[in-house]
Protein backbone atom coordinates (compact mmCIF):
# COMPACT_ATOMS: atom_id res chain seq x y z
CA UNK A 1 0.00 0.00 0.00
CA UNK A 2 1.25 3.46 -0.89
CA UNK A 3 -0.09 6.88 0.07
CA UNK A 4 0.47 10.50 -0.89
CA UNK A 5 -0.85 13.72 0.62
CA UNK A 6 -1.43 16.66 -1.70
CA UNK A 7 -3.01 20.12 -1.70
CA UNK A 8 -5.62 20.84 -4.37
CA UNK A 9 -4.75 24.07 -6.17
CA UNK A 10 -7.61 24.02 -8.69
CA UNK A 11 -9.95 26.96 -8.09
CA UNK A 12 -13.05 24.73 -8.14
CA UNK A 13 -11.40 22.03 -6.04
CA UNK A 14 -12.13 18.41 -6.89
CA UNK A 15 -15.49 19.05 -8.57
CA UNK A 16 -17.01 18.46 -12.01
CA UNK A 17 -14.27 18.22 -14.66
CA UNK A 18 -11.30 17.74 -12.29
CA UNK A 19 -13.16 15.01 -10.40
CA UNK A 20 -14.12 13.27 -13.64
CA UNK A 21 -10.49 13.29 -14.78
CA UNK A 22 -9.38 11.97 -11.38
CA UNK A 23 -11.90 9.10 -11.46
CA UNK A 24 -11.11 8.24 -15.09
CA UNK A 25 -7.41 7.99 -14.22
CA UNK A 26 -8.09 5.87 -11.13
CA UNK A 27 -10.31 3.46 -13.10
CA UNK A 28 -7.41 2.61 -15.41
CA UNK A 29 -5.73 0.64 -12.60
CA UNK A 30 -6.50 -2.63 -10.84
CA UNK A 31 -5.35 -1.31 -7.45
CA UNK A 32 -7.96 -0.31 -4.90
CA UNK A 33 -7.68 3.48 -4.65
CA UNK A 34 -9.20 5.76 -2.05
CA UNK A 35 -9.05 9.50 -1.57
CA UNK A 36 -9.61 11.12 1.80
CA UNK A 37 -10.27 14.62 3.08
CA UNK A 38 -10.12 14.85 6.83
CA UNK A 39 -12.22 12.03 8.28
CA UNK A 40 -14.11 11.38 5.02
CA UNK A 41 -12.89 8.67 2.66
CA UNK A 42 -14.13 7.96 -0.87
CA UNK A 43 -13.65 5.32 -3.54
CA UNK A 44 -11.48 7.10 -6.12
CA UNK A 45 -13.19 5.13 -8.90
CA UNK A 46 -16.65 6.54 -8.07
CA UNK A 47 -17.48 10.05 -9.28
CA UNK A 48 -20.33 10.49 -6.80
CA UNK A 49 -18.11 9.28 -3.97
CA UNK A 50 -15.31 11.71 -4.90
CA UNK A 51 -17.74 14.63 -5.33
CA UNK A 52 -19.23 13.78 -1.94
CA UNK A 53 -15.94 14.68 -0.25
CA UNK A 54 -16.54 18.35 -1.04
CA UNK A 55 -12.87 19.06 -1.77
CA UNK A 56 -12.24 22.78 -2.30
CA UNK A 57 -9.23 24.79 -3.40
CA UNK A 58 -6.35 24.57 -0.87
CA UNK A 59 -7.83 21.46 0.79
CA UNK A 60 -5.44 18.64 1.61
CA UNK A 61 -6.27 15.15 0.33
CA UNK A 62 -4.64 11.80 0.91
CA UNK A 63 -4.62 9.25 -1.90
CA UNK A 64 -4.08 5.59 -1.03
CA UNK A 65 -3.47 2.85 -3.59
CA UNK A 66 -3.27 -0.85 -2.74
CA UNK A 67 -2.77 -3.52 -5.36
CA UNK A 68 -0.55 -4.86 -8.13
CA UNK A 69 -0.17 -1.52 -9.95
CA UNK A 70 -0.38 0.77 -6.91
CA UNK A 71 2.87 2.63 -7.63
CA UNK A 72 1.86 3.49 -11.20
CA UNK A 73 -1.64 4.49 -10.11
CA UNK A 74 -0.38 6.76 -7.37
CA UNK A 75 2.23 8.33 -9.65
CA UNK A 76 -0.37 9.18 -12.31
CA UNK A 77 -2.84 10.64 -9.79
CA UNK A 78 -0.11 12.74 -8.16
CA UNK A 79 0.92 14.09 -11.57
CA UNK A 80 -2.72 14.87 -12.41
CA UNK A 81 -3.25 16.84 -9.19
CA UNK A 82 0.12 18.61 -9.41
CA UNK A 83 -0.57 19.61 -13.02
CA UNK A 84 -3.78 21.29 -11.79
CA UNK A 85 -5.76 18.84 -13.94
CA UNK A 86 -4.26 20.29 -17.10
CA UNK A 87 -5.44 23.84 -16.37
CA UNK A 88 -3.29 26.94 -15.81
CA UNK A 89 -2.44 27.40 -12.12
CA UNK A 90 -5.16 29.16 -10.18
CA UNK A 91 -7.78 28.71 -12.93
- Catalytic annotation, residues: 15
Among candidates 57, 81, 78, 82, which has minimal Cα distance to 3?
78
C-alpha to C-alpha distance for 58 and 61, rounded to whole angstroms = 9
Amino acid sequence: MQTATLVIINKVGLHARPAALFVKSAMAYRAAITVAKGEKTANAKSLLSVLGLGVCQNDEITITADGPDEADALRELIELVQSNFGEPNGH
